[in-house]
Structure 1
Amino acid sequence: MNIFQLLRKKKELIPLVLMMTAAAGGASSFAIYSLQKSDVIIDRKRNPEPWETVDPNVPRKLLTINQQWKPIEELQKVQRATK
């Protein structure tokens, strides 16, 4: 039976189908959005440490409120010593 014929017969399924379609679309769009972030590693061979190239002035969260970035001196010393 065709899905459109089923929806014509049982009209109470239309809101359910719309909500499930919206939920699936939202989940897949958020998954694609999350894969474009720098803290998600897909290919470890090409760039094994992607967090080294993150710009601290660009917000990485979906919503950022009053974010201030300050370098930690100990980490800066360790980073300079290991390079």
Structure 2
Amino acid sequence: MVGFFQILRKKKELIPLIGFVAFAATGAASAAIYFLLTKPDVILNKTRNPEPWERVDPSKPQKLITINQQWKPVEELEYVKSLTK
């Protein structure tokens, strides 16, 4: 660890590079944790909920950015769901 700081003292041009890499790594880790905890299509425990797509709310946007989303139920799909339940 001390050797790392000695290199940074000698080569100061590495400081912004290390800052950007640390920022990117933090952003990637926080995005991964966010998607694991909030998105219904990402599952960690398959035994508790083997079919998570059945609980997806169609009125709630599932993408990170959704522009002009309009949802209408598909009649054939609703008919098949009514037959299987």
TM-score (norm 1): 0.90
CA root-mean-square deviation: 1.2
Q: Which residue of 2 aligns with 1:10?
A: 11
> What is the aligned residue count?
83
Distance 1:80 1:11 in 2: 67
Distance 1:50 1:81 in 2: 20
Where does the alignment leave 5 or more consecutive residues of structure 1 unmatched?
none
Distance 1:5 1:77 in 2: 69
Q: What is the CA deviation profile of residues 7-31 of structure 1, one whole-angstrom value per residue up to 9, with x for unaligned ones?
A: 1221011011001101111111111
Q: Which residue of 1 aligns with 2:21?
A: 20
Q: Which residue of 1 aligns with 2:58?
A: 56
Q: CA deviation at 1:45?
A: 0.3
Q: CA deviation at 1:46?
A: 0.4
TM-score (norm 2): 0.88
Where does the alignment leave 5 or more consecutive residues of structure 2 unmatched?
none
Identity over aligned pairs, percent: 64
